[in-house]
Structures are given as C-alpha cells and as structure tokens.
Structure 1
C-alpha cells in the first residue's frame, strides 16, 4: 500500500480520539484516525451508553414489579411482569449502532480519513496499521494517543466462564439468579443495582471499609439504604480469593479472617481499569510514564515533541467528558491556537439508585486544603418536584469560601440529579458566588430549586426549610 502522509494522526476513536479528529477536521487539518473496533470506544460501545440503557431498563422493570405486588403507592396494579433480557440487549445494541454510525458520519463530514486496524509505532512520527488488506504505513507531523483503558483482571479471577467483566455483563442473554460483584466502585454498584432490580440475588464484595469510597459518606448514605431495600448483600473489608473447585461459588475472606463461599452463577469483576498501553509499540518511542499512565503536561504534550496523549491512557479521572475536552483542546493547539488545561472541575457521576454527582471540592476536601468554608445542604424531602417523583431521599449541597462566598464545590444525591451536573460545572467554571445562585430564579416545580435553596441556606436564610 502507498504510505499515507498527514498533518495529524489520532490513534483510537473513543470519546477523546474522535472529538479530537472531528475538531481538527473542522479546523482544516489533514487528519487520519485509526481504530481497531467500532468508532465510539469503550464508553459508547461497551461502557457508558449501554450501561445506562441497561440501568434504565432495570429501573422500568423494577417499577412494574412493584406494581405487581399491589403495594404501589400510585395505585397502579398489574399482573406479574417478566423480562426478556435478550430483547433488552437488542434494544441496547440498536442505540449503540445508531451512535457509532453517527460518529462515523461526523468524522466523514469533517473530512477525517478513517483507517480500520491496529496501529503500532515504528517511531514518533510513523505507525504501521494491521488492516484486513495488509499493512498500512501512516506518517504524521503530529500524533495523538487516545487508546483508552481496559478492565483490570485479577490473577486469581481471570475472565472466562462464570467470571465476567462489565463488557460481558452488558451482553448477557439471561438474568443470572445469583450474581457476585467484586469491587464496590461506581461500575460495580451501577451494574449490581441494575441486576438486583432485574431479579438477581446480588452480593457485593469490597476490600475497603465502605462502598463508593471516592465519594464522602454523607453522599452515599441514600445509596446504601436503597441497596438494602433491594436485598443486596454487602460485604466490606472482605477480599475475594478465587472460585470454588466447581466454579459455582466465589471464595471470600471476610473482615474477621474467616473464609466463606458465596454461591454465584456469575462473578462480575469491577476492580478498576488500566491504561491500554500494550501492543501499540510504545516501547519504540519510550515516553515518560506516571506509574502505568503516559505522563502529560497542561497541554496534553508527552515527553516526545509532536506526540500528545489524551483520555484514560493519561490517568485519573478516567471519564469520557474529560477525554473529550482534552481532545478538543489538543486539536486547537495543533491548529495553532493558544489553549491550556485550566478546568476548575470535572463533574463525576455515579448512576446508582439514587444517582450521585460531585463537582469541585467536597467540604472535607476544602477543609483539608486549609479553606474556611460555608456549607449549604437542602434535602429533597422539602422539594415538591422530588416528592412527585418519589425521590425524596437525597439532597443538594454547596461548598463555598467563607470570606467571599466563591463556590468551590457542589454535590447531590437523588433521583435524576445527574442532570444537575451541567449547572454545577457551569457555576464553578464561571466563578459564581452564593449570591449569584441564590439570586437566580429557578423554575418551579423542579429539582433545580434545591440548588437555589442550598445557596440560600449557606447564606443563612433558606426559604423552604
């Protein structure tokens, strides 16, 4: 094949990679993107989007299941429902297909050349791509590494048979009767909650003292209450050791040192993700590392001139929206614009039941940084819209400097609070103060009123509590 020569080469078409390529194309850069699978990456094809589809389906099934018991507070009753998980997966796959086709169309619209295959570095400017028709050599002035991440595999619980990762969990044909989840982070809890709603008997095993350790205990308390209501068994301070000889149970070392077996048809391992840095020939260019991740500066430049890295391969937080923002920034830098990474916050969301969202500093983080703060918390039990949605268990919290009332962080837990993340991020990025949020008219009746009330409460004069 004839070598391809381009201005910008993007390796990986996940959220960071495809956004980088699209923006570069819009700016008139001769851009090539290489992807071995479908465009969209883990997030779109086997992560964020399909998991939210399953979570939604599980929530709908749980609603009608409650109605079938005759105890629904809305007065709705029906016969016992059933779910065909295969049809649910087909619906989920349809959404994924529409979105991956949409990304491919956007790349084409931006005049980005797409090469399907696995890229391997020969040097900092050249890669060889294994395609269906042979090896395609691509030479570029600038290269962006956007290879993403993959699930961490435990040596004593290798993937295969009853042991699955989140990827396999999202494509199961039937609901497992008994599901053991190893890892109490957001992935494990999102999927564990969904399968509990679908009818699985779920046990969550977490080595740390509590679940969702990345969020403070006040935020996660309503989530723990809901897990108990769903009948989910939670084992904290417990360590998974491996499968039983018959592969029908997970062996766990409990907090007191005793060993127990957890009967399980499937064992879902969600102990984190690691950067996808293998099999790309990165040893040929010897980039500086930050642990397992590629080290970058505030413009996503690596230790080699003309080579950038974005997204999960560069470290925490491993979030699609962080990768997208980095990808857009890098494209503009390559096009000659002055850009740098000066984000005040990157919202993080856990799509459990109820949902959890956090942007900026929590009260503990602010105090640990030596800040004197004001904290305003408004419960959804005093919000009319939350009551009508049967979502009264939760709150909105605002953290602000005590001296000038600059907002440092905003958090919430409750039904549908993920949609408040945009308002949280905007307030922090715009440098809003408590008075700005308190003085903004929030529509009634909405969950957003709790944001205004939290600001009012931090100022000492909440109106509805």
Structure 2
C-alpha cells in the first residue's frame, strides 16, 4: 500500500474543511485533504448554493406568472409563461460545477494535495484512503475531522420512491403536482415555498404548534402569512405516521387527534440533520462526545492530542460560515498562532419568503440570562424602500441591555434582508450600543434605515413611526 506523510490532514472538503486546508497551505503547512465526493461539501453541492438557485428561479417565475394573470400593480403584463424545470436544474448544476472547480483551484494554488476517496482511521495518526486506484495510507502529525452532517431520515418513511430528502428535491426532473413537506423548519419551508411558486400544490406537516419553531413567533408570523397567500396548506401540531396506499399517501394525526391521509407525488422529509460520525473508523479513537456530536474546546481540540474537529460534526449551530471560521482558526493554531473561539455572534438566516435574520440573543433569551432589556422593532410598512419593492411585511428589531444600551441581539424579517446580516453581526462584534446605531448615518432609501429607526425607537425618539 502506498504511504505518504504530511503535517496536517483534513478529512472532508466541505466549507470548514477546505477553508482549513487553504489557510494552512497559505501558512506554509504541508497539507492533505480527503474528500469522497466533490469539493465543497453539502453546502455547495446539495444544500446552500443549489437551494438558493432554485429559490431565485422560483421567484422570477412567480413574478412573470403574476404579470400574466394581471396581478401586477406595476402595470406590467405578460403572456402566460412556461417553466422548463430540467433547464432550471441544468443552470443550477452549472453554478455548482463552477464553484467545484473554484474550490479545487484554490486548494491547488495553496499547495494542498486533494485526494479523492473514502477515509478510515487506523489510529490517531494514520488514515487509510480507499481511492479509485486502490488503498493509500496517510500518516499525519495533526488531523482535522470535518465530516459535516446528513439529513435525518424517519424510520417509518425511509428514503426512496416518492420519499425524498432535500438532496433529491434539488435534482428533480419536473415539478411535482402535489408535494407534502414533512417538517416546517427552515429547509422544508425554503424548498416548499419555491415549489409552491413554481406551481406545486404544497402541504406542510409540522409536529410543533407553529412553523419555524426555532424562531420566535414575531419572526415566523410574516412567513406564515406569505405561505397562506401562496396557497400552501400548513398543518401544525400534526404528526406524520406512515405511508399508506402503496406509498402514494401519508397517514397523519392532526392536532385534534383525528387520523387522515395526504396523497402526493413526492414526500419531502426535512426533519433535521445529524452529524456524520460513522463510516470512517471514528469509533477506534473513543473521542469524548457531547450527545451525538464530537466534544471540542475553544480551540476546536478534541479529547485526543493532535486531533481537531470543526463544523456540523461538533454541534449547533450547523452553519457553513461557523465551520469556515473554525477551519481558519484551526489552521492558524496548527501554524503556531495564538487563537481561540471568542465570537460574540454567529448570524443565522432562513431564506424563506420573506427572509429571516437572527444575530445574538432574542428578547426571551436575553431575559433568560438575567438581562433587563430594552427591545423595539421598526416595521417595513413605514420604510420607503420596502414599499417600492412591493413587500412591506416585516421588521427589524433590536435587543439591548436596559442599563448601558449594549446590543445583545438583532433580528429581522423581510424581503432581501439576508444582505443586512453582516451589518448586524458587525454591530455585535464591535460592542455597539443603541447610540452607535442611532448616530450612524444610514443611506436613504434603503431597508437598512429600519435598523437605524429601531435603535432610535428604543431610545424613545423614532422619526418615521
């Protein structure tokens, strides 16, 4: 068996893994990265990027359909449009190929050796890789585990046939006439909304009392209203039981305890994700765990010397940008720099319609930690730019300490609001107070003015509300 040695070995070329490897290469570290699939991981290949492409296509199609049906208030009319979904998917795949090549090119530029194959630990310093040309042994001084996560499957709804995960949903050849989404979290609603815009009759089944249970009710309410406007049927406090009628229908138990069935062409299961901790020999290392995740410290070190873990495999929040920041930090630690995880906030975005952004603590989380807070929101119905975009449902909310006005959290919901996430995060990382936001000139007319006005309102003198 051929053998090679390196200073740093990264298992998994997702956002965290490839960022770690690129940064290590930039720092002159002899680095090898192993990936069984294509570079970029779930996010680039079957998650973040392809879903946003489909969401954008769905928005464009919905706009043209509205114009054809005489529903445009802008005076725009059109003939009835058609949708070649196979072409949409081909366009999405083209974007992925470009980004795949980009990641591979960046790894090469940084001097990182990319090995395609399945990795398996033989001991804490040795990993065997099953490649197309046969097995290869790699010995490394330091190993980074960046194996990511995978969709959770339901025992009574195994994937296959009409039952699909988000991966299969993003590769369908045609739009299903009827789609049942099991799980009303961000993945299910992002895709469910897109398919509804493209003509599918969508039903969402959520076990919790409301959709998007990980967000507070104020943030999820505009999304619920938009789903209703799109004709999406939402069943909350409802449990998916099992497939019936030869797999063409789903038995559910409704909130009042009644049993009913939903027939559909496809059943999209989006009930969460779980860390990938099996299939690569991790059990022989006996690393400390935190539930299903690998336990790490503030430097992403595991319980075994010389082994780090980053990204989804280490716990919530399972977000690509968290993994990337961890990967960059670990590379610099391996290079001898003094680094530790001291981030104030990690932004989370739900790309529904409208979008949701949360940074830092919510009002209830702040109160739960013993803070006396001031919190106020500014509605987009009083924001000129939001009105010109025809979408005024939503708001921006600030959460600050009552004693010194230090910002603890910023949340918002509205069309295109994802692009404000960096401003919100920067404010928290810089230790901004309400007065800092209030005294910063925000360009007019922009949706960012709602951030300014929310701070002013919390200080007692909003101008436009």
The interval holding the TM-score normalised by the smaller chain is over 0.9
In the alignment, which residue of structure 2 is the partner of 1:242?
242
Kindly indicate whether residue 9 of structure 2 is the aligned counterpart of residue 16 of structure 1. no
In the alignment, which residue of structure 1 is the partner of 2:331?
331
Contact 1:407 1:434 in 2 (8 A): yes
CA deviations 1:332-371 (Å, max 9, x no partner) are: 0111111111111111000000000000011111111111
CA drift at 1:179: 0.2
CA drift at 1:2: 2.9
Kindly indicate whether residue 1 of structure 2 is the aligned counterpart of residue 7 of structure 1. no
CA drift at 1:376: 2.2
In the alignment, which residue of structure 2 is the partner of 1:350?
350
Contact 1:312 1:318 in 2 (8 A): yes
> Following superposition of structure 1 onto structure 2, how do residues 105-124 of structure 1 map, counting pairs within 5 Å?
105-124=105-124
> Following superposition of structure 1 onto structure 2, how do residues 196-275 of structure 1 map, counting pairs within 5 Å?
196-275=196-275
In the alignment, which residue of structure 1 is the partner of 2:190?
190
Contact 2:2 2:135 in 1 (8 A): no
Contact 2:62 2:197 in 1 (8 A): yes
**Whole-angstrom distance in 1 between the partners of 2:195 and 2:431:** 40
In the alignment, which residue of structure 2 is the partner of 1:401?
401
> Following superposition of structure 1 onto structure 2, how do residues 165-176 of structure 1 map, counting pairs within 5 Å?
165-176=165-176
Kindly indicate whether residue 433 of structure 2 is the aligned counterpart of residue 430 of structure 1. no
Structure 1 segments, 4+ long, off by >4 Å, are: none
CA deviations 1:399-432 (Å, max 9, x no partner) are: 0111111000000000000001000000000000
**Whole-angstrom distance in 2 between the partners of 1:238 and 1:384:** 39
**Whole-angstrom distance in 2 between the partners of 1:221 and 1:2:** 58
**Whole-angstrom distance in 2 between the partners of 1:418 and 1:453:** 18
Q: What TM-score do the two structures reach when normalised by structure 1?
A: 0.99
In the alignment, which residue of structure 2 is the partner of 1:376?
376
**Whole-angstrom distance in 2 between the partners of 1:8 and 1:227:** 47
Q: What TM-score do the two structures reach when normalised by structure 2?
A: 0.99
**Whole-angstrom distance in 1 between the partners of 2:199 and 2:57:** 12
CA drift at 1:255: 1.5
In the alignment, which residue of structure 2 is the partner of 1:94?
94
**Whole-angstrom distance in 1 between the partners of 2:132 and 2:23:** 28
In the alignment, which residue of structure 2 is the partner of 1:363?
363
**Whole-angstrom distance in 2 between the partners of 1:242 and 1:64:** 38
CA deviations 1:371-396 (Å, max 9, x no partner) are: 11111211111111111111210000
In the alignment, which residue of structure 1 is the partner of 2:52?
52
**Whole-angstrom distance in 1 between the partners of 2:78 and 2:390:** 20
Contact 2:356 2:414 in 1 (8 A): yes
**Whole-angstrom distance in 2 between the partners of 1:62 and 1:398:** 32
CA drift at 1:98: 0.4
In the alignment, which residue of structure 1 is the partner of 2:125?
125
> Following superposition of structure 1 onto structure 2, how do residues 307-318 of structure 1 map, counting pairs within 5 Å?
307-318=307-318
Q: How large is the RMSD of aligned CA atoms in angstroms?
A: 0.7
Size of the aligned set, in residue pairs, is 465
CA deviations 1:29-81 (Å, max 9, x no partner) are: 00000000100000000000000000000011111111111121011111111
CA drift at 1:242: 1.3
> Following superposition of structure 1 onto structure 2, how do residues 15-94 of structure 1 map, counting pairs within 5 Å?
15-94=15-94
**Whole-angstrom distance in 1 between the partners of 2:70 and 2:245:** 43
Which secondary structure state, in structure 2, belongs to the residue aligned with residue 155 of structure 1? coil
**Whole-angstrom distance in 1 between the partners of 2:22 and 2:249:** 47
In the alignment, which residue of structure 1 is the partner of 2:415?
415
Q: Which moved more, 1:403-412 or 1:245-254?
A: 245-254
CA drift at 1:245: 2.6
CA deviations 1:196-249 (Å, max 9, x no partner) are: 000010000011111101110001110000000011111111111111132211
CA drift at 1:253: 1.1
**Whole-angstrom distance in 1 between the partners of 2:283 and 2:414:** 46
Contact 2:295 2:302 in 1 (8 A): yes
CA deviations 1:176-197 (Å, max 9, x no partner) are: 0000000010000000000000
**Whole-angstrom distance in 1 between the partners of 2:427 and 2:215:** 20
**Whole-angstrom distance in 1 between the partners of 2:178 and 2:387:** 33
**Whole-angstrom distance in 2 between the partners of 1:74 and 1:247:** 45
**Whole-angstrom distance in 2 between the partners of 1:307 and 1:256:** 50
Q: Which moved more, 1:5-14 or 1:372-381?
A: 372-381
Which secondary structure state, in structure 2, belongs to the residue aligned with residue 283 of structure 1? helix
**Whole-angstrom distance in 1 between the partners of 2:52 and 2:249:** 28
Contact 1:46 1:167 in 2 (8 A): yes
Contact 1:363 1:399 in 2 (8 A): yes
**Whole-angstrom distance in 1 between the partners of 2:310 and 2:71:** 50
Contact 2:396 2:410 in 1 (8 A): yes
Kindly indicate whether residue 143 of structure 2 is the aligned counterpart of residue 143 of structure 1. yes
In the alignment, which residue of structure 1 is the partner of 2:451?
451
Contact 1:376 1:456 in 2 (8 A): no
